[in-house]
Amino acid sequence: MGVDFGPAATVVLGGFSLAFVFGAVAGRSNFCIMGAVSDAVNIQHWGRMRLWLLAIAIAMLGSNLLYLAGWIDLGKSLYHRPVMPWLSLLLGGTLFGVGMTIAGGCPNKNLVRLGAGSLRSLVVLVFLAIASYMTLKGLFAQWRVSYLDQVTVDFSAWGLPQQSVPALLSQFTGLAAPTALLVSTLCLALVLLVFVFKDGEFRSEPVQVGSGIVLGLLIAAGWYVTGYLGYGENPETLETVFFATNSRTLESLSFVAPSAYSLEMLMLWTDKSLRMTFGIASVIGVVLGSFVAAKASRTFRWEGFASLQDLRQNLAGAVLMGFGGVTAIGCTIGQGLSGVSTLAIGSFIAVFGIVTGSALTMKWLQR
């Protein structure tokens, strides 16, 4: 088993490098979307929420400028498919939000914690990966496909080529597609940036501001790696393909399904049909990036479960995140950064479910 030389190797190395930086920055800035929701709900502190929203704004600007320049085609991503399984996105996102709250963090946060020495997070990630794989190809997949994925909205029936905010704007205003994309991107990003920087306390935190910018740029860079550097002709079939991605189209950072594929590779290492991919390399990259950052800051320490109840809660949360993340086609990073950066309508639905599920669970736990 190995990595082919050429575009596939470039994509894998790019995924690892971007995720390495992502893990280091996320660890250094305490970036955590569950923590952002918790701070806003429980103590009305919006610092980490502003960090997340800044990353979204930068990811939107970077990704769609690449799209407008013709370097990548976000319309080919999973998020833009015209048939939108809205029930899967909403319910999956809600269950994911419940799970990450019970488990005390999303997959990205657990990868960062693992790099910093948390054996507790290792157990969470293993069970998350098992539940994710069951939802992709196993028992849970049958339920998902037979019941949830059947409830859809077909945007092509309305004359729309894809499910995105720019496509809707173009359809209802008559604007040319590139103009609608530019207007949508600038308006949404501007609203987010105004909200982020109107807070003087946040503006005075260079680590938080810098981290938000870097994290957003990494999402855009992920699209560039898989959608431009990894897009080309397969020498064996002579077909134009996206190299080294599990979805066989362009991807950016996401950690639920890639965790499942990482576990699959470890279990079936001698299977010659399996190859290292962008997603698997990104899982490894986040852990190692966090490890280096933790060692450099002398914050690395071994950590386990506090009690049997803690173990039970984390395992339940891991299973909910695995099922919910795959059903919602992404996690707090896969939908909460990569998905919304494409301006896909389904991504906003999934993120709404994640935030709502997390906030309601916090209120319930308080009571």
Q: Is residue 47 part of a domain?
A: yes
Q: What is the pLDDT of residues 268-301, one digit of tens each?
A: 999 988 999 999 999 999 999 999 999 999 999 9
What tokens appear for 92 in the block? 């999956």
pLDDT tens for each residue of 167-192: 999 999 999 999 999 999 999 999 99
Domain count, the chain: 1
Q: What is the dihedral of CA 123, 27, 197, 58, to 10 degrees?
A: -80
Full residue range of the structural domain in which residue 291 is found:
7-366
* Percent residues over pLDDT 70 in the chain: 99
Residue 200 resides in a domain: yes
Does residue 192 lie in a domain region? yes
pTM greater than 0.85: yes
Residue labelled with tokens 């891991």: 318
Helices 308-327 and 119-137 pack at an angle, to 10 degrees, of 40
pLDDT digits (tens, 9 = 90+) for 112-135: 999 999 999 999 999 999 999 999
Burial class (CB in 10 A: 0-12, 13-18, 19+), 86: middle
Does the residue 2 lie in any domain?
A: no
Has residue 1 been placed in a domain? no
Q: Residue 82's closest CA among 139, 18, 153, 142?
A: 153
Task: Answer whether residue 174 is part of any domain.
Answer: yes
Residue 103 lies in a domain: yes
> Closest Cα to residue 155, out of 57, 83, 256, 85?
83
Question: For position 5, what pLDDT does the model report?
Answer: 60
Rounded to 10°, the helix 33-42/345-366 angle is 50
Query: In 225-276, which residue ranges form alpha helices assigned H by DSSP?
Result: 257-267
- Burial of 149 from C-beta contacts in 10 A (0-12 / 13-18 / 19+): middle
In a domain, 11, yes or no: yes
